[in-house]
Amino acid sequence: MSKLTDLPKRILIGRALRSDKLGETLLPKRLALPVFASDPLSSVAYAPGEVLLVLSIAGVSAYHFSPWIAGAVVVLMFTVVASYRQNVHAYPSGGGDYEVATTNLGPRAGLTVASALLVDYVLTVAVSVASGIENLGSAVPFFVTHKVVGAVGMIVILMLMNLRGVRESGTIFAIPTYAFVFGVFCMIAWGVFKIATGHDMHAPTAGYTIHAESSGIGGFALIFLLLRAFSSGCAALTGVEAISNGVPAFKKPKSKNAATTLAAMGLLAVTMFCGIIALAINTHVRMAENPATDLLNHGTPVGSGFTQDPVIAQVAEAVFGHNSIPFVFLAAVTALVLFLAANTAYNGFPVLGSILAQDRYLPRQLHTRGDRLAFSNGIVLLAGFACVLVYIYGADSTRLIQLYIVGVFVSFTLSQTGMVRHWNRHLRTETDQAKRRHMVRSRAINTFGAFLTGLVLVIVLLTKFTHGAWVAVLGMVVFYATMTAIRRHYTRVSDEIAAEDEPGDDYVRPSRVHSIVLVSKVHKPTLRALSYAKLVRSDTLEALSINVDPDDTKALQADWQRRGIDVPLKVLDSPYREITRPIIDYVKGLRRNSPRDVVSIYIPEYVVGHWYEHLLHNQSALRLKGRLLFTPGVMVTSVPYQLESSEVARARARRRADWNAPGSIRRGPVGPQQREREHQREH
């Protein structure tokens, strides 16, 4: 890599790390929490609003159902957290839901889980960033009119931060995440204090009324509405599975630290979620799916110019006061943590992609780590998918969130079902009574988790499918089909190139070798190719030229005879002035006449030093090699001839090899041998 590109790369992502430094990138619990749990923690910024938005269809009177919905979400959260604590102990290798489903339910179930998680990770980035832009827009109006540009820019920034490595990104993300948790808890505590002391708090929309799209809802319609509100509130559970996928990134004891982090994440998330819902009801927050027409100010619709702030922003304004320092602080850290919530996906998607690549379901390039020991290719791929999604949906979190949750509950349900089979299998062979009691208890937790998450999956599909969830389902199908096709390709190639135990045709030596040197004119590259071809043992050797211009061909033949070159020159006519086709036809004719013979073709090529010079040379050679690759029994050898510009380029490369970008080398501790060498130099 040139100095021009190496310097910016090192500035952006830092110096390259040796493979043996991987242990230094492992995370303690205090950093693992913001790295892997920023998504479920930050989702409390938009999940309460989604509940109220759905309930607003039936008018303000339906808001009194929100505490019950919040209670159901809390039960579900604790169930999922308890279930995943079993996962991290049983499967600490980092495969998470994919490994659990594959091991216990089979490859198809595992691939279904993987497809669901990949879709969910992409949506996590898109929803988190879009929601962060909207929260930032409540304080900075620029982002209201430039949502897509702001969202794409933030996705790229997050990509660069994660390319620096897991530990460094964790350090960067820890302060905003803990600042957000601190701010929300301060808001809840101060709000509860003001309620207890009789202070009146009013959200900016407290004086508005809601035009109910469906007034007087009852019976089945009301049940369906409540189920839809519950499924929207379940957005608070997204990202819970990331910890089970990221167990290898924890410091030892890995499983114990991951389980502790899971418990802390669940407790913080449900406390903040319930607190914001309670304050939203007490401060009379009003939300509408179509605020321009359904939100009324003194009986008049607020119009298209109205910007509906998120619930957390309205509650913060009611508790702290408009534009107060605590309000601005919470708005800033909320927007920031929503951006950083995408980090959950940036850590989950590349790791899962690496595992899938190792299992030959994704391209092998996703399996390798980059300069900073992060899975760089997976990080870049995730950013690309998220940018496309944000552009298509205009960075609108309300539209994007309809696609959300389906994937995560597919993985929840299949993972917990797989864990039930895991415990059943171990119970059949375990004789220790203490271990059996532990397994039975764990199986009961996972059984309840599978039942509850399966029920929620059905609810989500029924209530969200026509509102956009079908896109997520389609994405899962596309991922499943693509990964199946990739695995089929890798399997076919592996079977074809596998060496047989018994000697076959590949072990049999060819009967003869026909060597052909391609010639356009007699010059140094041609003479070098002829000299090299003579050194290689072959049964026949001939030079081959194509007659495109009769005058050039006559000049070539005359020069050949004048120099007395002892290799026969064969000239093929080309009435249509083609070069590639006559050579291919000639080689195929040799193969037809002697199928057990091998044809070895030598192509003289110029080696140039500048990219633009490549456009002026070697195009015929490239086309010819591309065609010959598909011809069985043909070996192609390039014989390079270095021009002066290539020598200049080689000198530049040597200078670059001796140059190091700032920060690319860090001096380590001085060892005994180095001290001895320095001592000898001094004396």
pLDDT at 253: 82
Q: Is the pLDDT of residue 174 over 50?
A: yes
Q: Is the pLDDT of residue 273 over 80?
A: yes
Pair 534, 516: CB distance under 8 Å: no
pLDDT at 663: 39
Mean pLDDT for the chain overall:
79
In percent, how much of the chain has pLDDT > 70?
82
Residues 340-358 as b/e (b if ≥16 CB within 10 A, e otherwise) read bbbbbbbbbbbbbbbbbbe
pLDDT at 3: 43
Q: 508 versus 238: which is more confidently predicted? A: 238
Q: 616 versus 166: which is more confidently predicted? A: 616
Q: What's the order of all strands across the beta sheet hosting 540-547?
A: 569-573, 540-547, 513-518, 598-607, 634-642
Enter the pTM of the model: 0.69
CA angle 304, 305, 311 (to 5 degrees): 90
Instruction: List, in sequence order, every beta strand (DSSP E) within 279-351.
Output: 295-297, 300-301
Q: Is the pLDDT of residue 564 over 70?
A: yes
In percent, how much of the chain has pLDDT > 90?
12
When pLDDT is cut at 50, 70 and 90, the band that residue 503 belongs to is low
In angstroms, the CA 164 to CA 201 distance is 44
In angstroms, the CA 88 to CA 96 distance is 8
Residue 48: is the preceding peptide bond cis (ω within 30°)? no
Q: Which range among 179-183, 189-193, 500-504, 616-620 shows the weakest confidence by mean pLDDT?
A: 500-504
Q: 437 versus 31: which is more confidently predicted? A: 437
End-to-end CA distance of the chain: 39
